[in-house]
Amino acid sequence: MRHDETLAAEMQRRGVSRRAFLKYASYVASLMALPPSAAEALAEGLAAARRQSVIWLSFQECTGCTESITRSHSPTLENLMFDFISLDYHHTLMAVSGQAAEQARLEAMAANKGKYIVVVDGSVPTKDGGVYSTIAGISNLKMLEETLRDAFAVVAVGSCACFGGIPAAKPNPTGAVAISELAGGKPLINISGCPPIPEAMTGVLSYVLSFGKLPELDHLGRPKAFFGETIHDRCYRRPYYERGLFADGFDDHGARQGYCLYKLGCKGPVTYNACATLKWNGGVSFPIQSGHGCLGCSEPDFWDQGGFYRPLPTPLGAMGPALAGAAVAGAALGVGAALAARSHQKTYLAASEKEKD
Amino acid sequence: MSLACEAKQMLEDDGAFVDALLWETHARLAHFAETGEIASIDLGGLPMSGRDREALDSILGRGEVSAAVEVAGRSEVWETGFSSVWRVRHFGDGTIAADLIEITSCPSILAADRRDADNAARRLAEALEAKLGNAETLA
């Protein structure tokens, strides 16, 4: 693996022209809603960059995030991302194991001091000195601290790394915490989701590699390009919500007609993610298109928010009992619903907190 | 019209959106004609249905040039029936990865980069030397 030559030189050596960079840049610019004119700057940045050393740490996780990124829907194009980075450590994917694997991590850290990116999936147990999850006899807590010391930035992928996720769900027996609590001031990007959308992961890494800086982030440290709008904002069933047309059961007339799944517990109005536009499985579908409400998996503490099938509290301005009110409000609020989404999320979170107490 | 029909109609309605897109294309084309400033419209993030795309491409039509680029998957490029308005569609693994309208003399994905020429010249020289070597061996 040669870290000294530019990506352009490396690709040229393999007989791939600069068109590959242009194409990839167009793809990333489109994904991240950058102005199309940014594609050329992105391509130039990528071509001039050196292969980015990436150390991927997997802690309290299920490997779903790795499954997601390795099953991106455009393998030919997405594979380019894996040509642009040097995945120097990923204990699930790497060929070596044991001491040799840990040696690879230490060597990558020494060779790329101050320049490598740490990607983390999974939360970190902190209770009892972090004994509940270890790799090669090293606690996750210690490994993160050691690896972050000379890193350029850290990318937390998946809701466990971003917010604690399922390991941190009540009663959180291992004292699991999000990476943000342990990042020690390192630049941090959260790419939440259970799992995150693969294009969000590759898009963000490409952006950082090309421009050498973090993309614009929201208040939870997530890239706005992918987390700037709610699922509800871009849901194709939204016109039914606007008119108060809801499915009341998973097999009723409304469900068969494809009506809004709000009353069946859909968390789309309070969930920021790009599932409704990028979709899953090669752009084939996403949960709502398959007839199931959004679980809200990219939001903090989604596991403890009172049940996947419990409808959200009544939107602002609604009257009467929650469900009937929601239906009426859906019809009455019209386009104001999107503006209300943020406040609605606060109401929802406040209600959930109250319930917990 | 019932609420359900109205909502369904709203889901299927495609005319207004395509018209707006075509007017934007017109404005950018006129600006390009006047100033030479190139422009690009990314269709990726727009809420377009398959029917929208068909309607758009039906109106734009096909012009004098069409090309396929094979790099990291296939890309299709064609000039529309309106000179300087191009459609550029990049595919990943058979699915559309990026879909653009470009207003320019020639989309940059078609042009060879001069920085690739140096490598190409070296490879051509090697091929010629190998050919010469083969000929001498045969002689």
Contact of B122 with A13, CB cutoff 8 Å: no
Residue contact A75–B98, C-beta within 8 A: no
pLDDT recorded at residue A335: 37
pLDDT single digits (tens) A203-218: 898 899 888 899 999 9
Residue A125 has pLDDT above 60, yes or no: yes
pLDDT recorded at residue A166: 96
Give residue ranges of B with CB < 8 Å to any A CB: 3-4, 6-7, 10-11, 39-42, 44-45, 47, 69, 71-73, 75, 88, 90-93, 95, 97-100, 102, 108-109, 112-113, 115-116, 119
ipTM of the assembly?
Answer: 0.85
Tokens describing residue B106: 């020639």
Which of B44, B45, B95 is the closest to A74 by Cβ?
A: B95
Higher-confidence residue of A284 and A167: namely A167
Has residue B129 been placed in a domain?
no
The CATH code of the domain that includes B105 is: 3.30.1370.140
- Chain A contacts of B21, Cβ < 8 Å? none
- Right CATH for A238-356 from 3.40.630.30, 3.40.190.10, 2.160.20.60, 4.10.480.10: 4.10.480.10
Has residue B139 been placed in a domain?
no
Range of the domain at B73: 3-111
Has residue B51 been placed in a domain?
yes
B58 forms beta bridges with none
Has residue B25 been placed in a domain?
yes
- How many other CB atoms sit within 10 Å of the CB of residue A320? 12
- Chain A contacts of B95, Cβ < 8 Å? 73-74, 282-283
State the average pLDDT over residues A299-318.
Answer: 80
Asked if A197 reaches chain B (Cβ–Cβ under 8 Å), the answer is no
Q: Is A212 helix (H, G, I), strand (E, B) or coil?
A: coil
pTM of the model: 0.83
Fold of A51-225: Rossmann fold (3.40.50)
Has residue B138 been placed in a domain?
no
Asked if A24 reaches chain B (Cβ–Cβ under 8 Å), the answer is yes
For A232, A256, A281, the CA distances from A75, given in Å and listed in that order, are 29, 34, 12
pLDDT recorded at residue B46: 79
Q: How many domains does chain B have?
A: 1
Helices (H), chain A: 7-13, 19-31, 38-48, 64-69, 75-84, 98-111, 140-148, 159-163, 198-211, 224-227, 238-242, 253-257, 275-278, 322-333, 336-356
- Chain A contacts of B91, Cβ < 8 Å? 74, 77
Backbone angle region of A263, left / alpha / beta, with phi > 0 → left and psi within -120 to 50 → alpha: alpha
Interface mutation vs chain A, best among B93, B103, B119, most A CBs within 10 Å: B93
Q: Where are the domains of chain A?
A: 51-225, 238-356
- Chain B contacts of A33, Cβ < 8 Å? 42, 45
pLDDT single digits (tens) B5-17: 666 666 565 567 8
Would the CA dihedral through A314, A319, A325, A328 be positive or negative? negative
Asked if A99 reaches chain B (Cβ–Cβ under 8 Å), the answer is no
For A171, A293, A349, A355, the CA distances from A352, given in Å and listed in that order, are 16, 18, 5, 5
Residue contact B71–A245, C-beta within 8 A: no
Residue contact B72–A73, C-beta within 8 A: no
Has residue B131 been placed in a domain?
no
